[in-house]
Chains A and B, each alone.
Chain A
Amino acid sequence: MIESHMHRLVQMENSGLINMIVDEKYEDLGRMYYLFRRVSNGLVLIRDVMTSYIRDTGKQLLTDPERLKDPVDFVQHLLDLKDKYDKIITSAFRNDKTFQNALNSSFEYFINLNSRSPEFISLFVDDKLRKGLRGVTEEDVELLLDKVMMLFRYLQEKDVFEKYYKQHLAKRLLSGKSVSDDAERSLIVKLKTECGYQFTSKLEGMFTDMKTSQDTMQGFHASHGSDIGDGPMLSVQVLTTGSWPTQPITTCKLPAEILGICEKFRNYYLGTHTGRRLSWQTNMGTADLKATFGKGQKHELNVSTYQMCVLMLFNDADRLSYKEIEQVTEIPTFDLKRCLQSLACVKGKNVLRKEPMSKDIVDTDTFLFNDKYTSKFFKVKIGTVAAQRESEPENQETRQRVEEDRKPQIEAAIVRIMKARRVLDHNNIVAEVTKQLQSRFLPNPVVIKKRIESLIEREFLERDKGDRKLYRYLA
């Protein structure tokens, strides 16, 4: 009896299944579940309709450019969506496992439709750990982190997430902007449980470096405290290369006042750690400057190292051209323009004036110290330290680096498999490699083939002489 009306009930325009879901009519849904259970394929029908609805909604969310503008908002939406369906399944569908599975596979399907999902989830976490979790109880923190882990599990490209997470974590640690050290560590433990030690060993290395640096600074101040006197106060974080995201080596001439104390530190450090090499990461530092303006108003400016280099020039000159600044500081063009823009073109932060007053920085601009600068705050933060959604070209670059990183991982998997099996045909290699790497990313079969060919060329493998469909491991 129910069978013949099943489809009609489900599809009804204003009161069908989908409407019930949208309006969260738990009782009606519960009733439907109870009734349809008695019929073979009854539940299958509900599940299928629900699944395709979830997939469509999800797909829309993932491809809507408006929604994608704010990554934090976007991820919150995903979490809300998951919460909603979880509730339906618990309240109305009796926690039916098959429905849970259908929900999971739907989420897995649409989250991976957008290649930026890993980045966005990391930005969401960054936002929470930076400020969102302020004042939140420990239990609620755990709840949120568990939900984030749930989204993380759906990601096909976990290695992309790892890359962004590392970048964002680095920024948080170096700027001291993390809301809760416990929350940070809790998430790392969760990632370790999910993905194994290798995933998190470098992240843990970053925390270790921060702690070690604190100790180093204590030692440095103890031995040099009396020398400093009136000079700048230096605080150094010594980062172990390899644990932190790779940084390009940037040129930047530090002001003379700073160089002195930097050299003192370098000598101190190398005195206690022989055989190491230190290089200043001028693109990652910050500085607090005490500035006095026209009418004697004093402010403390929190700026990036680049901004500091630029501003210190105005101690000896009232006006400087772009070219002069570029020549003296040796800061790379793209960064210099961004730096000058943040100093001269942002309302409330314009400690420099620009002539002409246009929006963009060009080679022919001239900069002047803004005597008339005012702010109601004593401390003014000008440096951009918060992690932001990458621009298109930055995104492309990260993508490329991820692809490069994948190549050796794929090769290692191929060699491991062939070493064990000795002889294997092409399709099986592809299947095994995919299986081995699935916890990190989904390898492209074409890339796998390219790696096999590279291994053949380097004589790790050969094609079987009898059956050319087979590959043979060469000891």
Chain B
Amino acid sequence: MPPRASKRKSAPPNSSSVTSSDGRSVSSKAKIKGLEKIDRLFNTYANSSFGMIDPEGIEALCSDLGVDYTDVRILMLAWKLKAEKQGYFTQDEWQTGLKALGVDSLSKLKKALSDLEKEVEKPSNYEDFYTYAFRYCLTEEKQKSVDIESICELLNLVLGVQFRPQIDSLIEYLKVQNDYKVINSDQWINFLRFCKEISFPDLENYDAIQAWPLILDNYVEWMREKHS
């Protein structure tokens, strides 16, 4: 799970009610049975007064899945579920997500997690996941930026494995610089671009005259000074 916001002012989003249709045909019986299992799984972790899975529920889910709640795979799960609010899964999101994963039990979900990793890493999905990770941290209404501390943790979580040296160096810079106290989505998306396109650690092909965000211009300058 990505780092949580310290304050949670707004109430959790409304969960939608599941309407059951009458006159179930034979062919959809299997589907409905599967849906029932998914719903039952949902209810295991959901907070009954809200009608959705809240942070405590997610923690419990993680423990049952055998992953740490700060594991990137939980973030990937949230992405797959298209979860809107950090720390919460609505019934709708849960149903749609698990159906898409093709799972209806805890053990199946556990297995699906590693498949999910591969799915996320596909180039067609990766940028979407990466952008989602940032949005997921916007906990307040109208919030557009995320504080540096959280960004560093998120960078480590999301890009740390694939781009270890760049991320370590970038995180070091972000912590010492004073120009920016928060990062917006434009800067965030360019971090990924930077890792993918710029040769490291020489940074040879970085052109400050191009349309890179200023924060990266400053980072490159800092790097060049460090190694001169």
**A470 vs B214: C-alpha distance when bound (angstroms):** 15
Q: B222 to chain A: closest CB distance in Å? A: 15
Number of A-B contacts (CB under 8 A): 28
- Could you say which of B96-104, B155-163, B205-213 contacts chain A? B205-213
Task: Check B214–A463 contact: CB distance below 8 A.
Answer: no
Q: A453's contact among B144, B186, B193, B209, by CB below 8 Å, is which?
A: B186
Task: Check A469–B210 contact: CB distance below 8 A.
Answer: yes
Which residues from chain B contact A470 at a C-beta distance below 8 Å? 211
Task: Check A449–B214 contact: CB distance below 8 A.
Answer: yes
Which residues from chain A contact B144 at a C-beta distance below 8 Å? 457
Task: Check B184–A457 contact: CB distance below 8 A.
Answer: yes
If A457-B184, A468-B193 touch, whether A450 touches B211 (CB-CB below 8 Å) is no
**A470 vs B187: C-alpha distance when bound (angstroms):** 15
- Majority SS at the chain A contact face: helix
Q: A469 to chain B: closest CB distance in Å? A: 5
For the complex, is A120 an interface residue (Cβ under 8 Å from B)?
Answer: no
Task: Check A426–B211 contact: CB distance below 8 A.
Answer: yes
**A325 vs B174: C-alpha distance when bound (angstroms):** 51
Task: Check A426–B214 contact: CB distance below 8 A.
Answer: no
Nearest 5 pairs between A and B by C-beta? A426-B211, A456-B186, A469-B211, A457-B184, A449-B214
Task: Check B186–A457 contact: CB distance below 8 A.
Answer: yes
For the complex, is A427 an interface residue (Cβ under 8 Å from B)?
Answer: yes
Which A442-459 residues have C-beta < 8 A from chain B? 446, 449-450, 453, 456-457
Cβ contacts B166-187/A at 8 Å (1 or 0 each) = 0000000000000000001011
If A456-B186, A463-B186 touch, whether A425 touches B211 (CB-CB below 8 Å) is yes
Task: Check A426–B210 contact: CB distance below 8 A.
Answer: yes
Task: Check A453–B210 contact: CB distance below 8 A.
Answer: no
**A449 vs B211: C-alpha distance when bound (angstroms):** 8
Task: Check B213–A426 contact: CB distance below 8 A.
Answer: no
**A470 vs B210: C-alpha distance when bound (angstroms):** 9
Cβ contacts B190-228/A at 8 Å (1 or 0 each) = 100100000000000000011101100100000000000
Q: B214's contact among A425, A446, A468, A471, by CB below 8 Å, is which?
A: A446
Which residues from chain A contact B193 at a C-beta distance below 8 Å? 468
Which residues from chain A contact B214 at a C-beta distance below 8 Å? 446, 449-450, 453
Which residues from chain B contact A427 at a C-beta distance below 8 Å? 209-210
Task: Check B209–A426 contact: CB distance below 8 A.
Answer: yes
Could you name 22 residue pairs across A and B whose Cβ atoms are closer than 8 Å? A425-B211, A426-B209, A426-B210, A427-B209, A427-B210, A446-B214, A446-B217, A449-B214, A449-B217, A450-B214, A453-B186, A453-B187, A453-B213, A457-B144, A457-B184, A463-B186, A468-B190, A468-B193, A468-B211, A469-B210, A469-B211, A470-B211
Closest Cβ neighbor of A462 among chain B residues: B186
Which residues from chain A contact B213 at a C-beta distance below 8 Å? 453
Cβ contacts A404-431/B at 8 Å (1 or 0 each) = 0000000000000000000001110000
Which residues from chain A contact B184 at a C-beta distance below 8 Å? 457
Which residues from chain B contact A425 at a C-beta distance below 8 Å? 211
